[in-house]
Amino acid sequence: MPTNFTVVPVKDNTRKANEGDEEEDVDDNNVVKEEEEDATGDGVPKENSPFINNTDNDKGNSYDGTNMALFEEEMDSNPMVSSLLNKLANYTNLTQGAQEHEEAEDDEGPKKKAVKSPQMGTFMGVYLPCLQNILGVILFLRLTWIVGTAGILESLAIVGLCCSCTMLTAISMSAIATNGVVPAGGSYYMISRSLGPEFGGAVGLCFYLGTTFAGSMYILGTIEILLTYIVPKAAIFVAEKKEDEPGALLNNMRVYGTCCLALMAVVVFVGVKYVNKLALVFLACVILSILAIYAGVIKTIFEPPDFPVCMLGNRTLQNHNFDRCLKTEVIDNVTVPTKLWKLFCDGPELNATCNDYFVNNNVTSLQGIPGLTSGVISENMWSDYGPLGMLVESKKLSSVGGSDPAQDIYMPYVVNDITTFFTLLVGIYFPSVTGIMAGSNRSGDLRDAQKSIPIGTILAIVTTSIIYITCVVLFGACIEGVLLRDKFGDSVKGNLVIGTLSWPSPWVIVIGSFFSCCGAGLQSLTGAPRLLQAIARDGIVPFLQVFGHGKANGEPTWALLLTAGICEIGILIASLDAVAPILSMFFLMCYLFVNLACAVQTLLRTPNWRPRFKYYHWALSFLGMSLCLALMFISSWYYAIVAMAIASCIYKYIEYRGAEKEWGDGIRGLSLNAARYALIRLEEAPPHTKNWRPQLLVLLNLDSDQGVKHPRLLSLTTQLKAGKGLTIVGNVLEGTYLTKEAEAKRAEQNIKSSMSTERTKGFCHVVVSSNLRDGFSHLIQSAGLGGMKHNTVLMAWPGTWRQSNDPQSWKNFIETVRETTAAHHALLVAKNVDSFPTNQDRLGEGTIDVWWVVHDGGMLMLLPFLLRQHKVWRKCKMRIFTVAQMDDNSIQMKKDLQMFLYHLRLDAEVEVVEMHDNDISAFTYEKTLMMEQRSQMLKQMQLSRTEREREAQLIHDRNTASHATINDKTESGPERVHMTWTKDKLFTERNRNRECNANVAVRDLFNMKPEWESLNQSNVRRMHTAVKLNEVVVNKSQGAHLVLLNMPGPPKNRGGDENYMEFLEVLLEGLNRVLLVRGGGREVITIYS
């Protein structure tokens, strides 16, 4: 649907005065500031930049006048539409390759040069570069052999598979390339920005390795043409025996290949611009060679070229050391043996002992190229695979006598140099269809990249596919099968097989293919280091940073050295047939991820996914991806596994060590969709008891500098969770969000930093609230999303609550306890949290003691089990203590508990502790008295400041006077009450006051001190429980590494809150590491499977 724009002019008297300045600014903005781009590390405009190539000079220039005064405060962040459109219209990009580095100054240079507007069209910018990159060494050196070995039908299947793969990839690539501006970086840029830095880095390096090994392959092709077809006498290693020929050839390839690589690297290092200028010459060589082939095919109809192939029986002979295809010849009426005779017999005499097969079979001469109309096509339809050393034989000739493999290897027969099978040929052929990225790699040079890349690339693939298909058919129709299977042309005096077909001379193809391979090798050595430099400058792979630097003009020197080193590995392999599958793997992996990127973006329907190229579909991308994966394993399953392992290692390395990048990639969108789907599924039903695990909300406290007060709380979280389930780390800042925004961001950064240090995997949530009480309430209610909500709250015990002048500190704590209970969340409170072990500590032999007083759903059982999964607590043993009352059968309780733990599959010692109803001691009364006096003082603190201070002083004076009076009275008397109690004093006091058969109420009446009479008896009983339980726990568990204890709930009457804190303090007195546990009201552990 067309969209109509109406431009409404707005009059402004000040416009003309500033017109000249604006024009100057526009000129300045055409300069692409490369250092700004590098500084961001990702090669794309920063997010805070509302339009491309934003510069500081723009601010304030376009906003003069009074018409837009209403928006003047927003102009810095939201530019005027006219200014935005002006920027977009003048957008340019640096050209790629050598031109970029030859024209660009050093980063420290005084000023960047203005970049001319790119002018290349579809034909010169995309079509021809793709054509040159696709057509190459395999076409000239291996295609005839592939046709002869696989037959025309299977060769067409190989070509069809590979061309379909690249066509589908090109469709996906066109969609990605036309979805916005594609800056420098080509395919690497597209994949990394579509699939994220992890995939981008992995695939970028795979593409780099593929390009580097392609350089090896082209250099090996160059040397093969040089040593086999141009100057065979230049060989350094010469085989004296026929069986040593393959080894000698490989050694020659290694020596000459290394020299050629060194020479090419020097050329690239010294003057890469000459490589680009010669590109057209190399392209001309390729096109002329192909035209020569077609011309030769047409000529075979009228006058086939004369290339006889000498056959012995049905076996093909190497035609190097003889000139006549005869056993004997008659010269001056005398029959004399030929040179061929001498190859198969002991001597030149006619009665010499000869090879049996030579004696029994006749020598015939076949026309190597019978021509297009000869009907040889029917013989070449089917495959002829075989093992290493298999003789190349003609099916239409007969032979007498069997093979003698022991003798045949010494005879001048043409044989298979490798074992052949269909999948091997796929791997060898595939590099001949790579090179489809050449257009997208030059996106910055194009006048209209979004139009040129799809048309040029797809046309190039169609053209090359037609060339390959017609070549397969024409080779099969024109050339004899035994010559097709003769890889190095030994049967036609060492001529290039495809050269025998060409017109006007075989040398056209030989020289053309030589320069074509040279050019392709040089371009690989030019392109690969720049690709590595782009990856290094993105900063996603830390150990590659050094390769981002180069010469003063930007030449990637270090990257070139690494490329040459990797290229040398391929040259040391020395066999073109062995190197080709390696680079096939890396290119296939790259194409696989291009298809994946397009499929993911299409299926996710990302709002930014709006390609101009409309002829794509996710199913096509998925098919292309499947085809790439299939071809990888078809070509070579072990190379495929190695390539995928390399990519996986790079992926994981970037994930753990790489820089954090946000490129708006599709994988992030995929994660969001998957997360949304999973959350909706999770919300359908609460988790079953078997799946229950603590999903933690950790309430952290920060100091005045926004630093984490108790980092060991995060350590405990890590040890408890071991990276599983949900962890939300929350904090509340007091104030309003508008005034505390910067502080909240800083607090969040500090918490994330602490979480990273303590290896706590989870989310951070900082809330700004008018008061801490409401903030914690909001966190408990709203943290999490859908089914991914917390079910357990972890917090530190407020250790300084007694010293704090502000009663809100402990009131907030108690209210948090109440709210977690109301929300049916479990609660964990860590006392003395700073003494808990760090993640680096390894606790030795010791115990985790569980004091199971009341049943809370099994939390007390589950937590030690989870802790012991972590290496910090692994060596600790678990002990469970339960408390028996007077009327309980403790022996039976122990048996039942052991059976319960057995069914729970938990390994723990069990002990039942008996607590009898003892007298309430004087120590308990004194503790209760102190607690109530302090409570009274805290209640009085709600008065005005002056009155509060006076009241506190009066209470203090009264306490001092009463203690002085008690001391005066008891100096001579036996009735002294000890404020600091030891265990011995406690037992003494208890035994002295105990009367075995007296009623408790009567006994209290007789032993009561005057100031104890007014005490609340409920508080006295609670204090008695706390004192007695603490005494038992300290007695049994003082040496334990950790004590887990049921946490009693706060009183329903809020008037006794401060007493509750005192009860807990008494309960935990004398214990080092304590975790108070309060269940969430549901069973969390089960005996069932």
- The model's pLDDT over 975-1024, given as tens digits with 9 standing for 90+, comes to 333 333 344 444 444 444 443 333 344 344 334 444 444 455 566 677 77
The partner residues of 1076 in beta bridges, in order of sequence, read 829, 1045
Can you give the pLDDT at residue 337?
84
Q: Exposure string (b/e) for 528-552, b if CB count within 10 Å is 16 or more? A: bbbbbbbbbbbbbbeebeebbebee
At residue 468 the predicted structure's pLDDT band, cuts being 50, 70 and 90, is very high
At residue 19 the predicted structure's pLDDT band, cuts being 50, 70 and 90, is very low
Q: Is the pLDDT of residue 687 over 80?
A: no
Spatial separation of the C-alpha atoms in residues 147 and 133, rounded to whole Å: 22
CA angle, 778 then 782 then 786, to 5°: 175
Q: Quick check: 316 and 394 in contact, CB under 8 A?
A: yes
Spatial separation of the C-alpha atoms in residues 344 and 338, rounded to whole Å: 11
Can you give the pLDDT at residue 980?
35
Q: What is the mean pLDDT of residues 241-265?
A: 87
Q: What is the mean pLDDT of residues 143-170?
A: 94
**The token pair that represents 925 in the structure block:** 């009364």
**The token pair that represents 861 in the structure block:** 């059982």
Main-chain phi, psi angles of 412, to 5 degrees: -80, 55
Bond into 556 cis (ω within 30): no
Q: Is the pLDDT of residue 53 over 60?
A: no
Can you give the pLDDT at residue 40?
42
Spatial separation of the C-alpha atoms in residues 304 and 307, rounded to whole Å: 9
Can you give the pLDDT at residue 990?
44
Tell me the HSE value of 311 on the side-chain side, using a 13 A CA sphere: 24
Question: Would you give the end-to-end CA distance of the chain in angstroms?
Answer: 60
At residue 288, the 3 state secondary structure works out as helix
Can you give the pLDDT at residue 555?
75
Can you give the pLDDT at residue 900?
81
CA angle, 395 then 400 then 402, to 5°: 90
Closest CA to 828 of 540, 561, 1073: 1073
State CA 220 to chain mean position distance. 34
Closest CA to 264 of 280, 255, 275: 275
Of 171-175, 493-497, 1049-1053, give the range with the top mean pLDDT.
171-175
Tell me the HSE value of 31 on the side-chain side, using a 13 A CA sphere: 16
Spatial separation of the C-alpha atoms in residues 92 and 118, rounded to whole Å: 8
Tell me the HSE value of 389 on the side-chain side, using a 13 A CA sphere: 12
Q: Quick check: 533 and 559 in contact, CB under 8 A?
A: yes
Can you give the pLDDT at residue 523?
84
Can you give the pLDDT at residue 457?
92
Angle between helix 197-225 and 506-538 (nearest 10): 150
Angle between helix 272-302 and 449-478 (nearest 10): 40
Can you give the pLDDT at residue 239?
76
Q: Average per-residue pLDDT in the chain?
A: 77
Of 117-121, 202-206, 306-310, give the range with the top mean pLDDT.
306-310
At residue 407, the 3 state secondary structure works out as helix
**The token pair that represents 151 in the structure block:** 């037959």
Q: Quick check: 3 and 32 in contact, CB under 8 A?
A: no
Summarize pLDDT for 592-634 with one digit per residue, the tens: 988 988 898 888 887 888 888 889 999 999 999 999 999 999 8
How do beta strands 334-337 and 763-769 pair? unpaired
Can you give the pLDDT at residue 35?
39
CA angle, 146 then 150 then 151, to 5°: 105
Q: Which residues contact 540 (CB under 8 A, 6 or more apart)?
A: 192, 197, 200, 201, 654, 658, 659, 661
The helix (H) or strand (E) run that includes residue 1042 is: strand 1042-1046
At residue 794, the 3 state secondary structure works out as strand
Main-chain phi, psi angles of 731, to 5 degrees: -150, 150
In sign, the C-alpha dihedral spanning 16, 18, 19, 20 is positive
Q: Which residues contact 779 (CB under 8 A, 6 or more apart)?
A: 697, 699, 730, 732, 765, 767
Summarize pLDDT for 313-329 with one digit per residue, the tens: 888 888 887 888 888 88
* Higher local confidence (pLDDT), 320 or 515: 515
- Asked which of 328-337, 499-508, 680-689, 723-732 is least confident by mean pLDDT, the reply is 680-689
- Asked which of 45-49, 193-197, 307-311, 898-902 is least confident by mean pLDDT, the reply is 45-49
Can you give the pLDDT at residue 655?
78
Of 181-190, 316-325, 403-412, 799-808, give the range with the top mean pLDDT.
316-325
Q: Quick check: 462 and 433 in contact, CB under 8 A?
A: no
Main-chain phi, psi angles of 604, to 5 degrees: -75, -20
The partner residues of 794 in beta bridges, in order of sequence, read 698, 828
Q: Quick check: 197 and 205 in contact, CB under 8 A?
A: no
Closest CA to 158 of 371, 499, 471: 471
Closest CA to 639 of 210, 189, 324: 210
- Asked which of 50-64, 832-846, 1044-1058 is least confident by mean pLDDT, the reply is 50-64
Where does 397-437 have alpha helices with state H?
405-408, 422-429
Strands across the sheet with 846-852, in order? 763-769, 727-734, 696-699, 792-796, 826-831, 1074-1078, 1042-1046, 846-852, 876-884, 909-914
- Asked which of 444-448, 742-746, 1003-1007 is least confident by mean pLDDT, the reply is 1003-1007
Can you give the pLDDT at residue 220?
92
Spatial separation of the C-alpha atoms in residues 429 and 432, rounded to whole Å: 6
Q: How many residues does the chain have?
A: 1089
Spatial separation of the C-alpha atoms in residues 603 and 606, rounded to whole Å: 8
**Percent with pLDDT over 90 in the chain:** 16
At residue 283, the 3 state secondary structure works out as helix
Q: Is the pLDDT of residue 970 over 50?
A: no
**The token pair that represents 956 in the structure block:** 């203090």
Q: Quick check: 843 and 872 in contact, CB under 8 A?
A: yes
Main-chain phi, psi angles of 826, to 5 degrees: -75, 155
* Higher local confidence (pLDDT), 143 or 107: 143
Closest CA to 916 of 941, 884, 950, 870: 884
Summarize pLDDT for 757-800 with one digit per residue, the tens: 888 888 899 999 988 888 888 888 888 887 788 888 999 888 77
Q: Quick check: 98 and 273 in contact, CB under 8 A?
A: yes
Q: Quick check: 35 and 530 in contact, CB under 8 A?
A: no
The helix (H) or strand (E) run that includes residue 367 is: strand 363-367
Q: How many CB atoms lie within 10 A of CB 569?
A: 13
Q: How many CB atoms lie within 10 A of CB 967?
A: 10
322: left (phi over 0), alpha (psi -120 to 50) or beta: beta
Main-chain phi, psi angles of 763, to 5 degrees: -120, 155
Closest CA to 594 of 210, 178, 188: 188
Main-chain phi, psi angles of 551, to 5 degrees: -70, 180
**The token pair that represents 378 in the structure block:** 């029917």
Q: Which residues contact 103 (CB under 8 A, 6 or more apart)?
A: 95, 113, 115
Spatial separation of the C-alpha atoms in residues 875 and 871, rounded to whole Å: 8
Q: Is the pLDDT of residue 266 over 60?
A: yes
Summarize pLDDT for 549-579 with one digit per residue, the tens: 877 666 788 889 999 999 999 999 988 888 9
Q: Is the pLDDT of residue 885 over 90?
A: no
